[in-house]
Amino acid sequence: MTKTKKGEVVTELAELFEGASGVYSIDFTGLNVASTLKLRRAFRNAGVTYRVAKNTLVRRALSDKGGYEDVTARLIGQSGIAIGYDDPAAPARVLKEFIDPKAEFPKLNFAVIDGQIFESKALAELASMPSRMELLGSIVGSINAPASGIVGAINAVMRDLGSVIEEVARSKEAA
């Protein structure tokens, strides 16, 4: 690989890291071609960007981006980088479904979500995180709950008032 090509790869990776909310380093050593293609397809379907590059180039791109100094030494083996933008836990969900508990690979080296570093043991935790849309939905539901409660209470008062008026009318007719 020429020096120019390496510079282009570093620039491309740095641009990918720019808007990332979650960056995952995956060791895919020992993964066959069919499994690698299946993993790439799963990432693509989940809206996750996945790139494979030499660790030295990834280190350069991470140092150019800044904020990743604590993880650059953890890039070992054959590393793939999965990047989540809107949903930082999307790569973790794909990996959790993809990784066979009996097999050793692929495995998560580390994840960086909003500046916080997670070890490979935290994959199940990361995968169980709700997506951004699920969080927004629950917030909207929480905000909407008191309003719907008020509407229900007003409707109940109106219904009860209607019942009282109806009973008074019946009692006047009977009398």
pLDDT digits (tens, 9 = 90+) for 115-165: 777 776 766 666 666 666 666 676 777 676 666 666 666 776 677 767 777
Q: How far apart are CA 80 and CA 36, in angstroms?
A: 10
List, for residues 45-101, the tens digit of each pLDDT value: 988 989 988 888 888 888 877 767 777 777 777 788 898 888 888 888 888 887 766
- φ/ψ of residue 115, rounded to 5: 85, -10
The answer to whether the predicted template modeling score (pTM) of the entire model surpasses 0.75 is: no
Note whether 50 and 94 are within 8 A (CB): no
Q: Which residues contact 1 (CB under 8 A, 6 or more apart)?
A: 9, 54
In this structure, what token pair is assigned to residue 96? 């959790």
